[in-house]
Structure 1
Amino acid sequence: MKALIQRVSSASVKVNGHSVGAIEHGILAYIGLGKDDNSQSMQRMIDKILTYRIFENTEDISKLGKLDQNLQQVKGGLLLVSQFTLMARTDKGRRPDFGRAMAPDIAQALFAQMIAYAKTQHPLVATGEFGANMQVASVNDGPLNFLLET
């Protein structure tokens, strides 16, 4: 499993011109599910995203400017967007190979579990729409982007 996370000032997802998910200050997470992923790796990824320290400490003067706060500490939003292309193999040729990606029907069920689990761990969770053509807008804060893997 891979997650490309971005610290954002805001982010939103539209499908067919209608907003399906939006957050203010927080993390936009693109999620790629691989063939070997399961409920345990999904939970580890959500736990990692929620506790990954990518926010600056604004309260402790001795730590100003240091990235030592996580999403839960800053009470930010989490926007989860399914992104199978993260699993592409790109090291050979000029065309991505999606052979490592989980089959769509299995991935949809695991992504639904991921959303449900995230909502039990954090109060501010929004999502895109699995398998839809989505228009994602974000204001990347930093910019800060990290590729997490389980």
Structure 2
Amino acid sequence: MKVVLQRCKEANVKVGGKEVGSIGAGLVLLVGITHNDTEEACSWLADKIVNLRIFEDGQGKMNRSLLEEKGEILSVSQFTLYGDCNKGRRPNFMNAAKPDHAELLYQRFNEILREKNITVQTGIFGAMMDVSLINDGPVTLILEK
């Protein structure tokens, strides 16, 4: 499982021109799932994400977590995180999980985040989405389990 995390001041996702998710300050998560991912990976990543000290304290140091900031999450499924571009000119997505497996784990990942008292908005799994955000920092990290 792979997550690209971006700290944001605000963010939203639209499908077909209609907004389906929107948050204020917090994190945008682009979530990719591969074949052998499990619920354990979802739990580990969710715990890591909400407790990462990547928000500034009063001295301007990254010393506060999403939980401490009471921030929100915009979670967007992103199978292209498992695109392999080593050969040829077209990405190979064979490492991305099949949609039925990926969707179940993606939904479970978001449930685990919500169980931690985090507001989680999402896009629509498998849809073409327009994601907008105002980056804060910018702070962008890649997490993998």
TM range (shorter): over 0.9
What is the count of residue pairs matched by the alignment?
145
Distance 1:56 1:90 in 2: 36
Distance 2:87 2:69 in 1: 41
Amino acid at match of 1:44: W
- Structure 2 length as normaliser, TM-score? 0.96
- Structure 1 length as normaliser, TM-score? 0.92
Distance 1:29 1:112 in 2: 13
Residues 1:146 and 2:141 are matched in the alignment: yes
Q: CA deviation at 1:33?
A: 0.3
Residues 1:130 and 2:116 are matched in the alignment: no
Amino acid at match of 2:69: V
Q: How does 1:115-126 map to 2 (within 5 A)?
A: 115-126=110-121
Deviation per CA, 1:12-42: give whole Å up to 9, x if none. 0111121111110000000000111010001
Distance 1:147 1:96 in 2: 19
- Alignment RMSD: 1.0
Distance 1:54 1:123 in 2: 16
Unpaired segments ≥5 residues, structure 1: 59-63
Higher alpha-carbon deviation: 5-14 or 114-123: 114-123
Unpaired segments ≥5 residues, structure 2: none
Distance 2:41 2:19 in 1: 29
Q: Does the 8 Å contact 2:71/2:118 carry over to 1?
A: no
Q: How does 1:69-80 map to 2 (within 5 A)?
A: 69-80=64-75
> Which residue number corresponds to residue 96 of structure 1?
91
Q: CA deviation at 1:147?
A: 0.6
Distance 2:118 2:92 in 1: 36
Aligned residue for 1:130, secondary structure, equals: coil
Deviation per CA, 1:51-108: give whole Å up to 9, x if none. 11111012xxxxx121111100111111110000001122333221111110011111
